[in-house]
Amino acid sequence: MANQGVLNAWLYGRPVECTEQQPDRAFHFILLGAPGVGKGTQAEYLSEKYGAVQLSTGDVFRAAKGSDQGVLSPAMQEAMEAMKAGRLVSDDTVVSMVRERTACLSSGYGFLLDGFPRTVEQAKALDEMLAGMNMTLDGVINYALDMEEVVKRLSGRRTCQQCKATAHVIFSPPKQEGVCDKCGGTLFQREDDKPESIRVRLQAYEESTAPLAQYYEAKGLLITITADGAPKAVFAETEKVIGKRFQLA
Ligand SMILES: [Zn+2]
């Protein structure tokens, strides 16, 4: 979860508040990875280690939904309207959203972009924005995992009919099978969490992300890391790769 100060900065244009300590150098990363590969957890570790500010468009959209619409920026309002109408948020709108908040990108702490860019068009717009600020990307970290492994991870989720709390049959099983720990309600598998739905989502993700991965590969920026194993082990691998690339101790 991105820290609240960053979300506020993104939504309302307040100054970015984050760690007190200024890192030795600012890292500018983009994170790619299908839902279920554990990208959010890696983002937290990366943010902690390198000080870069995590900007997740998913978090921004979720926070914006719960906000007073009147205080949102014009591009955010446009995005919310599109989502309410069940339309995809257009490249133009997403790019404007980011453009309105370039102060977040130029923070001395660097950034970790999660969920943006999502298309080659957006990637090109980002390149332009960064060039305008005399900044360059350090790398695009692509967390990859075998599709069936992701299906196994995601399809284990169960949701409480009553309080909507979630459990996981492998990673956080309820004390009593099929029963919510919090309220005693019945746990069920949401339609979205069924293996078939997950496969459809993953396929769509792969198809839409492949051109983006190729775009960054051609620029020599793509760093693919296999995300199997425990989150800490995946992060150790990430640190190794980043260390090698930037000759860090
Ligand atoms: Zn419950």
Q: Which residues surround ligand 1, an ion (CB under 5 A)?
A: 160, 162-163, 165, 180, 182-183, 185
What separation in Å is there between the alpha carbon of 168 and the centre of ligand 1? Answer: 13
What tokens appear for 208 in the block? Answer: 């839409």
CA distance 132 to 129: 5
Distance CA 54, CA 40 (A): 10
- Please confirm, yes or no, whether 14 is among the known catalytic residues: no
CA-CA distance, 158 to 168, in Å (whole number)? Answer: 6
> DSSP H helical segments within 68-167, as ranges?
74-84, 91-99, 102-105, 120-132, 147-154
Residue 77, SS3 per DSSP = helix
Could you tell me the distance, in angstroms and rounded to a whole number, from the CA of residue 156 to the centre of ligand 1?
17
CA distance 127 to 137: 8
DSSP assignment letter at 88? P
For residue range 196-224, what is the model confidence (pLDDT) as tens digits?
999 999 999 999 899 999 999 999 999 99
Distance CA 116, CA 95 (A): 9
* CA 171 to ligand 1 centroid distance, Å: 17
The full set of domains in the chain, from first to last, is: 4-145+205-246 (3.40.50.300)
Query: What does the pLDDT look like over 8-37, one tens digit per residue?
Result: 555 554 444 444 445 567 789 999 999 889
> Ligand 1 centroid vs 178 CA: distance in angstroms?
11
Which is catalytic among the residues 101, 153, 157, 158? 157
Query: Does residue 36 contact residue 206 with C-beta atoms inside 8 Å?
Result: no
Catalytic: 190? yes
**Would you say residue 113 has pLDDT above 50?**
yes
What pLDDT does residue 167 have? 95
Closest residue by Cα to residue 38 from 232, 243, 236: 232
One-letter amino acid identity for 81? E
Set 190, 232, 244, 245: catalytic member: 190
Specify which residues 222 forms β-bridges with: 140
Tell me: pLDDT of 189 over 70.
yes
pLDDT tens, position by position, 37-70: 988 889 889 888 887 878 888 877 887 887 777 7
Of 239, 219, 236, which Cα lies nearest the Cα of 127? 219
Find out whether 47 and 111 touch, Cβ atoms under 8 Å. Answer: no
Q: Looking at 101, 118, 153, 158, which residue is catalytic?
A: 118
Could you confirm whether 240 is annotated as catalytic? no
* Cα distance between residue 243 and residue 133, in whole Å: 25
Length of the chain: 249
Task: Report how far ligand 1's centroid is from the alpha carbon of 44 (Å).
Answer: 27
Predicted confidence at residue 73, as pLDDT, reads 82
Confidence of residue 249 (pLDDT cuts 50, 70, 90): very low
How far does the centroid of ligand 1 lie from the alpha carbon of residue 164, in Å? 6
pLDDT of residue 17: 47
Instruction: Give catalytic status of residue 201 as yes or no.
Output: yes
E-strand stretches of the chain: 27-33, 53-56, 110-114, 139-144, 157-160, 166-168, 187-188, 222-226
User: Is 152 among the residues known to form the active site?
Assistant: no
